Amino acid sequence: MVQLKGSVSFANEKTYAHESVDELAKAYHVTPEYLPLPVIFDNVTTKQMVEQDRYINNILMLGKRANFALFTVGTVRSEALVFQLGYFAEPEIKRLQESAVGDIVSRFIDENGKVVAPEIDARTIGIDLADLKQKEHAILVAYGNQKTAGVHAAIKAGYTNCVILDQTLAQLLLDF
């Protein structure tokens, strides 16, 4: 069980990433591997230096080689968790809200699944979107009508080959 992206935040908000990894590892009787880092660094140089660390690089490679990936799509609404964690300045949030339909592993995408902010993506640590396309099972789990455009973009771009949705979101996608 490998955490696919960083999760440490600068705010008092909890991400519950460790708890999720722990519960899944316990359910499958495996040892969890954590990525004990912020998901988005202040600058590219720091991120690149951290990725060179042997321990961190090993975890990143485990995530890249995993044959299963379980993930969701985040929204770009003001109350979205990623915007509450202290990673972004207000102008960055505004730009992401204007150009992105959601995020997958904290990589912000447009309606076609393309990354909208390459300079933010370059500061983001964790699995790359292209790696999701290589997974035997890339499982997207989502619920709620606010995720319709983001889930649609993930499916359209081929980042997932299996989706688990609530009935409302499934119907919205059929109507999209």
Residue pLDDT, tens place only, 18-69: 788 889 899 999 999 999 888 899 999 999 999 999 999 999 999 999 999 9
Query: Which pLDDT value is given to residue 10?
Result: 53
Contact 115/121 with Cβ under 8 angstroms? yes
- Residues with pLDDT less than 70, the chain: 8-16
- Per-residue confidence (pLDDT) for residue 96, from 0 to 100: 96
> According to the model, what pLDDT value does residue 82 have?
84
pTM equals 0.90
CB atoms within 10 A of CB 63: 20
Answer whether 15's CB lies under 8 Å from 9's CB: yes
Give me the pLDDT at residue 112, please.
Answer: 98
The Cα–Cα gap between 162 and 104 comes to 15
| Whole-angstrom distance, CA of residue 22 vs CA of residue 112 | 33
* Rounded-to-integer distance, Cα 13 and Cα 152, Å: 28
Phi/psi of residue 29, each to 5°?
Answer: 55, 50
Arch. (CATH architecture) of 17-175: 3-Layer(aba) Sandwich (3.40)
